[in-house]
Chains A and B, each alone.
Chain A
Amino acid sequence: MKYLYVGGMAEVDGEALESIRGRVAAEFALSPREIRLPAPGFAYDPIRGQYASTELLENLVRRCPPDAFKLLAVTECDLFIPVLTFVYGHAQLGGRVALVSLARLRQEFYGLPPNREVFVERALKEALHETGHTFGLVHCADRNCAMALSTNVRQIDSKRAEFCAACAARLPRPARPRE
């Protein structure tokens, strides 16, 4: 049995976490499992007021259970890599571990009224995207594909929570192709 471990780093939105665990596991034909993960405080950068995603990812690699096929961590913290102002997530390309941040996916972050549906859909798309990287998928030129690069929420909203046929075909166990 191939397990997909999905867990929150400290407190995270329960609805988003459940949705991600179920849908991502189904999309990659894996069995979902819960996991308790540490709070991300150790990766906090007081100068930037954000969390270093590389440090978090390294920690997750060490904590990855031996029977985990993939481990996906979800956090409410805003992530960064040194050269960029922020990242929505981070993953080991062709590895076992991925990380998604919910911090910039809510409408409220941009001064707009809350919208749960939009938020959960964005979280799911980014979770699929980062997990896709662990299967060796790189950014896709098809803007509707979950593997399309998103550098803002408009781009996340314009893509779909599924893979294009070309990306699906590159997965070892092909995900459900788009109709």
Chain B
Amino acid sequence: MKNHWPILVVDDEEVMCESLAAWLREDGYAVDTAASGRAAVDKARQRDYAIYFVDLKMPGGMDGIETMMQVRRLHPEASIIIITAYATVDTAITAMKEGAQEYIVKPCNPEEISLLVNRIIKVKNLQRENTILRKKLSRKYCTHDVISKNARMREILALAAEVASLRSTVLIQGESGTGKELVARAIHNSGDRAQKPFVAVSCAALAETLLESELFGHERGAFTGAMQQKQGKFEMADGGTILLDEIGDISPKLQVDLLRVLQERSFYRVGGSEEVRVDVRVIAATHVNLQQAVAEGRFRDDLFYRLNVIEIRIPPLRERREDIPLLAAHFLERLSHELGKELDGISEGALRLLMDYNWPGNVRELENAVERAMVTCRSRMLSEEDFAFLALNGAAGKALNFPAGMTLQDMEKQLIAATIQRAGGNIKESAAALGIDRSTLYEKIKRYEIPR
């Protein structure tokens, strides 16, 4: 791995240059040498070195600082270590001001130089990993990759791309499993904040006090167990985007706190007296009808209007059935790689069954259904039999006891309790079986006071 990070040693003294290069080569690095600043810049034009060891005093009109400045113009990410035998505070300050990562005085301890190089390489490995992950994420959550030929969805995606670079708050409404987080990530990744953090918080999963600390952080000693200061999600998302999922479930107190953040762009950590300022784009998502919640007095109207600057309503899958074959084919292809199981496609009969099904869990339920069918499929084509469990899901529902006069909420409570019991208390599994995400399930468990 070390030879992925080439090093250039620059010094007019051949012995100094070659001996350091040899020492680094013994450590496994690919090392080149340059006998002058000009030679170093020429080499930097041809190759992107990870680390440059540059001697401060070199003849020929280009000293270490000048060499460093020219190299940094070519490769702003390069790590430059200035080496000198004559340590003065002035030269050290100049070197650091001009962008030297480190400044070492020769001769230095072998341990020091070894630790220094290891530290730089460790950071570079993390940066490279971060870049790769960001690329993967932006591919996964790009508006171009949201699959739909439905006219309303195309409008939504066009709007998402249009507002991506604005700072305005976005409110995404839609049933569970319609892809609210996917759209939020697509907005983040298409805008100016793509290189900054995207932080998602499920407001339904946590109790009020925990959520407050989670969002705004806390000071040391703010409450029992607060052993040290902790950054909240708003601070973590500084410069980027925060997604407040299931915003309809937050308490009246937190509604006030959030309103303040949206208005002032600042807040106080729990137990803190110092104002924290952040630059965060807020995207809120909810499966409940917020307008109705406002009308019923459960949600502050001023917060609703602050959140609802740009409104996106994602239609449920049953209202865009034309997308079902497209989505099923997409999941089949993607899961083929993940599961290592190559299939030819989905039969016409199976597609008819998928088109007729009501999809209460929306796209997530469809994805889970395709995966389940692929796991149990014994031929090269997904058939109606492979999706038989969809009909059984309905049958299982019927097997539950639903006497006349029972409310819809009672039915939901019974179904959730039965599913959790069948999954042995496993929330992830229960959420998947119900076709909803975990935060929605937590919210329902809390609301219906279902024992786990």
Contact = CB atoms under 8 A, between A and B. Distances in A.
Interface string B89-110: 0000000000000000011111
B72 interface: no
Interface of A is mostly: loop
Chain A interface bracket (under 10, 10 to 19, 20 to 34, 35 or more): 20 to 34
Contact of A82 (B2, B13, B27, B114): B13
Given A139-B28, A149-B27, A82 B19 contact: yes
Interface in A122-179: 133, 138-139, 149, 151-152
Contact of B16 (A48, A83, A86): A83
B113 interface: yes
B23 A84 contact: yes
A55 to B, nearest CB: 8
A87 interface: yes
Contact of A151 (B28, B83, B110): B110
A93 B2 CA distance: 16
A84 B20 CA distance: 8
B30 to A, nearest CB: 11
A139 B23 CA distance: 10
Interface of B is mostly: helix
B83 to A, nearest CB: 7
A115 interface: no
Contacts of B109: 84-85, 151
Interface in B1-59: 2, 13, 15-16, 18-20, 22-23, 25-28
Contacts of B19: 53-54, 81-83
A30 B2 CA distance: 30
A53 B101 CA distance: 29
A138 B25 contact: yes
A93 B113 CA distance: 19
A94 to B, nearest CB: 9
Interface centre among B2, B13, B16, B22, by most chain A C-beta atoms within 10 angstroms, is: B22
Given A54-B15, A151-B111, A152-B111, A83 B106 contact: yes
A52 B16 CA distance: 11
23 contacts: A52-B15, A82-B15, A82-B16, A82-B19, A82-B20, A83-B19, A83-B113, A84-B23, A84-B110, A84-B113, A85-B108, A85-B109, A86-B110, A87-B23, A87-B110, A91-B26, A93-B25, A93-B26, A133-B26, A138-B26, A139-B26, A149-B27, A151-B114
Given A54-B22, A93-B26, A138-B28, 5 more contacts: A82-B106, A83-B113, A151-B109, A151-B114, A152-B111
Interface of A: 48, 52-54, 80-87, 90-91, 93, 133, 138-139, 149, 151-152
